[in-house]
Amino acid sequence: MAESKLKRTQRENHKRYKEDVKREGKPFFPYAMFHDTIMALVVVLVIIALACVWYFTAKHAKDGVGALGPLTSAKADPGTTSFVPRPDWFFYFLFYLLRVFKWPDSVFLGTVGIPTILLVLLIGLPFYDRRTERRLLRRPVAIVTAILVVLSMGVLTWKGAIAKESVGAENVQFVPAWAKKQGFEDNAKAVAGAKVFASLTCMTCHAYLGAGSSGPGPDLSAIAKGGRGAQGFADYVAQPSKFGNNVMPAFADIGADNLAALGEFLNASKGATATKK
Amino acid sequence: MAPKSARRRQLEAAALYPLDWVEERTGLVGGIKYFLFRHVPRDTNWMQTLGAATLTAFLVQTVTGVFLAMYYKPDPQNAYSSIQHITHEVTLGWLVRGMHKWGASVFIILMFFHMARVFLFGAYKYPRELNWIVGSLLLVLGMLEGFTGYLLPWDQTAYWATAVGINLNATAPFLGPFLANFLQGGAQIGPDTIARFYSLHMLLIPGGLIGLIVLHMYLVVRLGVTSPPWSPTAAGRERPDESKPEGARQGLIRSGDGQDEGH
């Protein structure tokens, strides 16, 4: 009953709208189209201006990084790299959600769960907000929700933008301290593995003795307790998907020597407490 | 004077002949006339140009994208060097690439602004629900364009962002690993990945975008543009003073579950 009343109001409102527009409205051309054309020109000019600032400041900068970033970074290199993975800016909020949900059980929420729920809520909006009221001050729930959504997206985007991922070159300096704490100073292969670990992208997803990133991967300080053994760790890192891990990238490209060293290093990582013997 | 006006009539008939010819066979001229001279509410404002602005950014992407595709080579050996060639050697190549790169961000920002405008105006409500859904799908497809396009320069930024992105897809239950495998064209990012992303980026997703944009604009023209809700002369406003048939008035007053009355 209420449903049919709502439908009748909606239809009457729209009929009245159509009549009003026909009687009182202005033709799209030239009036509205004039504004649209000016706006279109502004958009094209802004895009051209961004392209010019990006190109000319980068071209004349000594390090090739202009006001809007470099023209390109170095050529893609799947093997050795200490590159910090970072998505385009409009995915920063998703990128940061991964840090909110910790590996491994709830990471699925951040990668797929929450985005799917948000998308369903977005698409379904006209179906759960069924009132005919359009004025903002009479839509308190809508206005509060909108403010919360904008704020949280803004904060997540900003946090994603400034999230500090450690850079390989900085992490290598920790290696001697790690070797001392973990007690593998005299194991040359493990020390070499620690250097590989520090200079690859490992620490953008993993923490190690307080350094690196706390997510989405687990803290590896005491990973040896898992008891995989040096060879087991090397195999795991080479192709994590073989072990049911579909999140971590494969590192088979870094070569057998690096993998073996890395395995030795992980197998020597018994947690800082192990040094008290 | 008489001969001159006869000649003028002839000229006009000659000029209009192609239009009449097309109109007789397609009806398109009438459609365009309807599109241009349809009425919109008198009180539409600058916020309502955001849709046209978004469309403009999309057109910039298609035009610059066509030119980039003439020089870009979608395989791991040549992708990076072809981007370098476009940026540093091709005449105005830097401008075309720069406009495409930055136009993408402008396009996404404008989609969000346009969506915010529609939300603030309550313009997603009856009878425009479907157009809100079409718009939401356009936003998703636009972001997928961003994701697939990001890999193509084949530099470190591109490669590692995509490696992480694909691995995040893989965490989805059931379909995730298959989707990741499909996107990569194998167990790892390689030659097939770049070709797949290129194909999605310039054939499948833009095709979907263009189709949905046409539907989006058709619905805008059919359903009309909303007035700003605060406007005292908004089209479709209720007029308590106007004498109306008794039944219609009562229907209006009783309806809306107590939300719409009293203003």
> How is A225-265 classified by DSSP, letter by letter?
GG---HHHHHHHHH-GGGGT--SSPP-GGG-HHHHHHHHHH
Please report whether residue B37 resides in a domain.
no
The dihedral of CA A79, A82, A87, A88: what is its sign? negative
Please report whether residue A146 resides in a domain.
no
pLDDT at position A21 is 95
Please report whether residue A18 resides in a domain.
no
Residue B116's CATH number? 1.20.810.10
Asked if the C-beta of A102 comes within 8 angstroms of chain B's C-beta atoms, the answer is: no
CB contact under 8 A, A40 and B120: no
Number of domains in chain A: 2
- Whether the predicted pLDDT of B224 surpasses 70: yes
The answer to whether the CB of B230 falls within 8 A of the CB of B46 is no
Write the ipTM: 0.87
Please report whether residue A118 resides in a domain.
no
The answer to whether the CB of A247 falls within 8 A of the CB of A107 is yes
Please report whether residue A175 resides in a domain.
yes
- Whether the predicted pLDDT of A141 surpasses 60: yes
**Half-sphere exposure in the Cβ direction for B252 (13 Å, CA):** 21
| Mean per-residue pLDDT, B22-39 | 94
Lowest mean pLDDT among A256-265, B137-146, B167-176: B167-176
The answer to whether the CB of A29 falls within 8 A of the CB of B36 is yes
Kind and range of the H or E run holding A130: none
Residue B262's pLDDT band (cuts 50, 70, 90): very low
Of the residues A40, A72, A104, which one is the last residue of a structural domain?
A72
Share of chain A above pLDDT 90, in %: 34
Q: What is the CA radius of gyration of chain A?
A: 28
Collapse the DSSP code of B39 into the 3-class scheme (helix H, G, I; strand E, B; otherwise coil) and give the result.
strand
Question: What is the number of other CB atoms lying within 10 angstroms of the CB of residue B107?
Answer: 23
Q: What is the CA radius of gyration of chain B?
A: 26
Collapse the DSSP code of A217 into the 3-class scheme (helix H, G, I; strand E, B; otherwise coil) and give the result.
coil
Please report whether residue A179 resides in a domain.
yes
- Whether the predicted pLDDT of B107 surpasses 50: yes
Please report whether residue B259 resides in a domain.
no
Q: Identify the residue with better confidence: A32 or A255.
A: A32
Number of domains in chain B: 1
- DSSP assignment, residue B155? B
Please report whether residue B101 resides in a domain.
yes
Please report whether residue B151 resides in a domain.
yes
Residues of A in contact with B141 (CB under 8 A): none
Peptide bond into B245 cis (omega under 30): no
Please report whether residue A44 resides in a domain.
yes
CB contact under 8 A, B252 and A9: yes
Please report whether residue B162 resides in a domain.
yes
Structural domain containing residue B167: 46-225
Residue B256's pLDDT band (cuts 50, 70, 90): very low
Ordered DSSP codes for A59-113: HHSTTSEETTEES--SBP-SSS--------GGGHHHHHHHHHSPTTTSHHIIIII
Share of chain A above pLDDT 70, in %: 88
Please report whether residue A185 resides in a domain.
yes
Taking the C-alpha atoms of residue B141 and residue B137, their distance in angstroms, rounded to an integer, is 6
Please report whether residue B12 resides in a domain.
no
Please report whether residue A125 resides in a domain.
no
Of the residues A54, A72, A90, which one is the last residue of a structural domain?
A72
Please report whether residue B216 resides in a domain.
yes
Mean of pLDDT over chain B: 89
Nearest to B129 among A35, A98, A126 (CB): A126
CB contact under 8 A, B39 and A136: no
Please report whether residue B248 resides in a domain.
no
Q: Which of residues 157-186 of A touch B (CB under 8 A)?
A: none
Residue A169's pLDDT band (cuts 50, 70, 90): low
- DSSP assignment, residue A218? P
Residue A215's CATH number? 2.60.40.420
Phi then psi dihedrals of residue B190, to 5 deg: -160, -160
Nearest to A212 by CA among A226, A222, A202: A202
Mean of pLDDT over chain A: 84
Q: Identify the residue with better confidence: B243 or A207.
A: A207
Asked if the C-beta of B132 comes within 8 angstroms of chain A's C-beta atoms, the answer is: yes
Taking the C-alpha atoms of residue A92 and residue A86, their distance in angstroms, rounded to an integer, is 8
Tokens of B29: 């001229």
Structural domain containing residue A236: 168-276
Share of chain B above pLDDT 70, in %: 89
CB contact under 8 A, B122 and A135: yes
